Structure 1
Amino acid sequence: MTKPTRPTRRYDYVDDGPAIYTDSFATIRREARLAHLPANAERLAVRMIHGTGQVDLADDLDIHPGLVPAARTALRAGAPILCDATMVASGVTAARLPRGNEVLCLLGDARVPGLARQWGTTRSAAAVSLWEPLLEGAVVAVGNAPTALFHLLEMLADGAPLPAAIVGCPVGFIGAAESKRALAGFADRHGTDIPYVTAHGRRGGSAMTASALNALAKEEE
């Protein structure tokens, strides 16, 4: 096998991995407005911004004051992470998990297509129903489908076991902003206070959600 050679250096750029990492977080702290967030959630916010490249994301973040301790306690006790999308699950860094926690996405379960047809909903929403035996004390993450977040909230309102924390950052133009408002207003509407983090508006996605999970899994940056 031919040994690869480095191409001729033609651009001026930083190529030291640790330096890029450190300088990125320093830039975020310098440019983002973080004062309105819970003090214990600063590193969470910084990682979410790092995952999107958008410092103004901080203005849309809504972080329950109990989110960070609730999620960290659950993960240190071995709780699973339940994800609505494979890309979210794939973005979780295994080395950061405190107890080798299971990271599960049930979208590929054979039961999902039939449930989606029967209920007239998306596969993402149907897959969330399969979380029920695992929900109690889990950390759940919705980073793709607004229907999945709505479905989860409806399950919880109907009496499903309560997760320890919800990372609710679905992305999109139809239902994303509305599902996040429903998450933020769940305690007022249903009387059940579940710690959560969300990014209001249309922004969201797998990278943002996985970044949040990685921050919750381990405090160190």
Structure 2
Amino acid sequence: MMDPMQQITAQGRNIEENSFAIIDTEMAHLYGGHQYNKDQWPVVRRAIHTTGDFEFSQLFKFSDNAMESGLSAIRHHCPIITDVTMITSGLSPRRLAQHGNQAHCFISDETVIANAIKTGGTRAVDAMRHARDLGLLDGAIVAIGNAPTALFEVLRMVQAGEVQPALIIGIPVGFVKAVESKQALIEQQQVSYIASLGRKGGSPLVVSTLHALMIEASK
């Protein structure tokens, strides 16, 4: 029976394996190695594979128990809450199905849009509040790739004791508060996190991080 975590075709598997081998070799010989342990490296390596950018070997940060928390959550069928539909669209249905995980994004929910218009805030903030009100954030993996306001709001809810996610993946891209939101994530100690510092980030990196976690959870 085919492992649903693997590429479907032999050629696809070969290309991916060769790509990872090249990354490992160049990381060792051109960059002097990396700072990550054996559990963290598959996440960072897949980010490099996704972007072609070795700078991410300096940007990714993990809380001490991030991988353990993320893998346990996936194995226990946790929901995945995202800030944009680009992330939910990019996730492999086969990988999600392996442990019964469901990905949710409420950015286009009519209630969320109406509340954001009424308050003058961002839809990303109201989307996270909507997920909270549905009881989806406790024990969830929250995955933020575009909206610093969403990340700040989840951190506020954590600090207020309103929610307790299993893991926050905070990799928003951009120029307005993206750096500050990621710094706030790594400075808090109430929830496990995976972050990538600086302005770089985005949906593809969140997708690659989630895929790495789902693959490792099935080993």
The TM-score range, normalised by the shorter chain, is 0.7 to 0.9
In the alignment, is the contact (CA less than 8 A) between 1:135 and 1:162 conserved in 2? yes
- Does residue 49 of structure 1 match 2:77? no
In the alignment, is the contact (CA less than 8 A) between 1:82 and 1:140 conserved in 2? yes
Return 5+ residue gaps in structure 2 as ranges.
1-10
- Decide which structure has the larger Cα Rg and report it: 1
Alignment of 1:2-151 (within 5 A): 16-32=11-27, 35-97=34-96, 98-132=98-132, 133-151=135-153
Matched AA of 1:30: T
- Cα 1:44–1:213 change in 2 (3 A) is same
1:213 to 207, 210, 213: 210
- Residue 35 of structure 1: CA displacement? 3.0
Residues 43-65 of structure 1 show CA distances to partners (whole Å, capped at 9, x for unaligned) of 11111211211111110111123
- Alpha-carbon distance in 1 for matches of 2:142, 2:168: 5
Q: Taking every aligned residue pair, what percent have the same amino acid on both sides?
A: 37
In the alignment, is the contact (CA less than 8 A) between 1:94 and 1:100 conserved in 2? no
Residues 153-181 of structure 1 show CA distances to partners (whole Å, capped at 9, x for unaligned) of 11111111201011110000111111000
Structure 2 partner of 1:9: none
TM-score norm. by structure 2 comes to 0.86
Aligned-pair Cα RMSD in Å: 1.6
In the alignment, is the contact (CA less than 8 A) between 2:107 and 2:113 conserved in 1? no
In the alignment, is the contact (CA less than 8 A) between 2:80 and 2:142 conserved in 1? yes
| Count of aligned pairs between the two proteins | 201
TM-score norm. by structure 1 comes to 0.85
- Alpha-carbon distance in 2 for matches of 1:209, 1:195: 15
- Alpha-carbon distance in 1 for matches of 2:158, 2:192: 13
- Alpha-carbon distance in 1 for matches of 2:44, 2:74: 19
